[in-house]
Amino acid sequence: MRKTLSLIVATGAILALAACSSGSPAPTSTSTSASGAKCVSTPSGSISDSVKVTGDFRATPTVKFSAPLKATSIQRTVVIKGDGADVKPSSTVDIALAAYNGTTGKLLSASGFDKTSPVPIVVDATQYVPGLVRTIECVPVGSRVVTTSSVKDSFGSANTSSLGLKATDTVVFVADVVDVVPTRANGTPVAPTPGFPTVKLSTTGQPTVTIPKSAPPTTTKIALLKQGDGAVVTSADTISLQYQGVLWRTGKVFDQSWGRGVYSGPVTGFVPGFTKALEGQKVGSQVLVVIPPADGYGSKGNGEIKGTDTMVFVIDIVKTTH
C-alpha cells in the first residue's frame, strides 16, 4: 500500500511541474485543431522503439528496456493504436501514466491503471510538462504510447530533483489515452429562473453573465441552466468542470477555467456555496449559483473579492468520478 501511494504521489509531482519556457521539442509534422492550435506529431525512433511494453490497455504495463538509455531527442512509439477520437491541443484528456528513469530503470510513478481513476491533464505545454503533452497529443483515444526524451525535453527548465532526476537522465513515459473529457455541459436547456443573473453562451459554450440591477440575495441561491442525465455528484467525488466567476458588485469576471481547460478536483475543495451547487447535480448539467460572503470567502475576502462581495458562478459539470 505504501509503495502504491508513493507512486500516486509521484505522479502528482510530475503533473505539478509546470513547463518552463525553455521551448518544446520541434515537431516533424503538425495538424491544426478547430481552435487553430497546432497538434505536434512526434516521430518514433530507435530509443523509443527499444522500450518493450506488454499487457492490455488500462492494465498495468510490463515495461522492459536496457538501461541506461541515452535520449538526444524526444521520440514516440505507439504500442497500441486506438480507434477513438484524436487528442487535440487544449483538450482535457484522462490518461493512465507510468514514468521511468531511463538511465537507472527505476519506476518513478504509476497511476490510472487496473480500474483506478485516470489522471486528467490539459494538452497544453504551458500548463503541463511538454514531454507528457507530446506523449498524448495527435493520437486516438484507446492508444498506448511510449516516449523517450531528455529531462530538458520532458520537463523544460523545471526543477526535477523531487523526482530524483538529474539533468543528464533520460525519461520514459508510458501512457494509456483513456478518454477526452467534454469541454461543456451537454444537458437539456432549462427555462431561466426569475431574479437570477442572465447567462448567454458563445458558440464554444463560454458564458457571459449579466447581473440584475437589484441587491444580491443574502443566502446561497442555485438554479439550473441545463439538466444533465449523467451520474449524480456526491461529496466524495472528484469532479471535472468548467466555471466562470463574476462579482455581483462589478459584473466583471474574476476567475474562470475557460481558456485554460477543464478543471478537476475534489467536490469539497471549493468554497461552501460552490460545493452546495455541485452536490446532487447530474453530469451534463449547467448550474448558476449566487454565493454571499458567508458561503464564500467570508468577511476577509480573497484578493479582489471583498469581504462584502457576492459571487456568481456558472458551472458546467462534465464528469464526476466516485
Q: What is the DSSP string of 292-306?
A: -GGGTTGGG-BTTB-
pLDDT at 185 over 70: yes
Nearest C-alpha neighbor of 74 from the set 130, 4, 14, 5: 130
> What average pLDDT score do residues 92-104 get?
96
pLDDT at 56 over 80: yes
- 61-80 tens-digit pLDDT: 999 999 999 999 999 999 99
Give the distance, in angstroms, between the CA of residue 30 and the centroid of all CA atoms in the same chain.
22
Q: Which one is the CATH code of 2-180: 3.20.20.10, 3.30.70.20, 3.90.78.10, 3.10.50.40?
A: 3.10.50.40
Residue 4 one-letter amino acid: T
pLDDT at 199 over 90: yes
pLDDT: which is higher, 7 or 184: 184
Give 159's pLDDT tier (boundaries 50, 70, 90): confident
Q: In the structure grid, which three cell numbers stand for residue 301, read together?
A: 475576502
pLDDT over 70 percentage in the chain: 89
Q: In the structure grid, which three cell numbers stand for residue 158, read together?
A: 523545471
Three-point CA angle 169, 171, 175, nearest 5°: 175
- Range(s) of the chain covered by CATH 3.10.50.40: 2-180, 188-321
CA separation for the pair 273, 292 (Å, rounded): 8
Residues 60-88 as b/e (b if ≥16 CB within 10 A, e otherwise) read: ebebebeeebebeebbbbebbebeeebbb
Give 11's pLDDT tier (boundaries 50, 70, 90): low
> What DSSP character marks residue 259?
T
pLDDT at 3 over 90: no
pLDDT at 246 over 70: yes
CATH 3.10.50.40 applies to domain 188-321: yes
CA separation for the pair 36, 80 (Å, rounded): 28
pLDDT at 13 over 80: no
Q: Which residues contact 39 (CB under 8 A, 6 or more apart)?
A: 30, 31, 32, 33, 86, 87, 88, 89, 137, 138
pLDDT score recorded for residue 20: 44
Q: Do 139 and 85 meet the contact criterion of CB atoms below 8 Å apart? A: no
pLDDT score recorded for residue 10: 58
- 275-288 tens-digit pLDDT: 999 999 999 999 99
* Count of CB atoms situated within 10 Å of the CB of 134: 26
Nearest C-alpha neighbor of 186 from the set 313, 286, 267: 286
CA separation for the pair 123, 41 (Å, rounded): 13
